[in-house]
Amino acid sequence: MPGFSDLFAPGQPTDPMFGLTRARGLLEWFRKHPLAPLTSNTAAEEEAPRTRAVNGAITALHDAGVTRFTLEAAASSAGLPVAVVEQFFPTDRALLAATVERWTQAISAPLVPLMAEKGTVAFLHALMAAHAEEPALMELLAYCLASSADPTLDGSDYYRSAYRQFREAINNGLAADVRAGREPATMDPVRGAKQLLALFDGLRL
């Protein structure tokens, strides 16, 4: 897609600020193509109801935030009957868990190559810039982090599992950075990952 794949074409600038530049370029593309990374290439009426429900949830969260989120609001935004949404997501929290997964992947997946190209710190820097442009997502993530502490809540297992996977990715990225000489050989990747994520999560909150 012109304007999107161009951001990853060979010969792009190699200065340290390129990660931030590309992050903002991606965000600008997202704004010009609403929900484009979150949907398939088919028309809305041909999309699977589950995908439409998640996209409707994203729209509802943009409009009213997580504190006023309901299945009814997501269904209305998706143009679906509430009963259809409930077939896939019987509770608000179940739909929010699926929404977190889809929304965060849409934001972070295009930035993942930065980890190998520029290092883990550059990746987290670009991801922070992308998240700063999505306050509704940040509010949702803060809500999910709090929810993950209660194992009785729908979605809490997913939130904990997703965070563990993210932590492991940062750990592996720092280990690769040490091998590539981007970080000092004296760095302990496990300790470094804990420190980086503490800073990253604090800034997000």
The DSSP secondary structure of 120-136, one letter per residue, reads HHHHHHHHHHHHHT-HH
What pLDDT, on the 0 to 100 scale, is given for residue 34? 46
Among 11, 4, 16, 29, which Cα is nearest to 130's?
Answer: 29
- The mean of the pLDDT values for the chain is 82
What pLDDT, on the 0 to 100 scale, is given for residue 39? 45
What pLDDT, on the 0 to 100 scale, is given for residue 77? 92
The DSSP secondary structure of 80-97, one letter per residue, reads --HHHHHHH-SSHHHHHH
What pLDDT, on the 0 to 100 scale, is given for residue 134? 86
What pLDDT, on the 0 to 100 scale, is given for residue 157? 81
The CATH number for 16-204, chosen from 1.10.357.10, 3.30.590.10, 3.40.50.300, 3.30.70.980, is 1.10.357.10
What pLDDT, on the 0 to 100 scale, is given for residue 12? 65
The DSSP secondary structure of 171-203, one letter per residue, reads HHHHHHHHHHTSS-TT--HHHHHHHHHHHHHHH
Let me know: does 70 contact 92? Beta carbons within 8 Å.
yes
Q: How far apart are CA 15 and CA 32, in angstroms?
A: 26
Least confident residue range of 39-53, 57-71, 150-164? 39-53
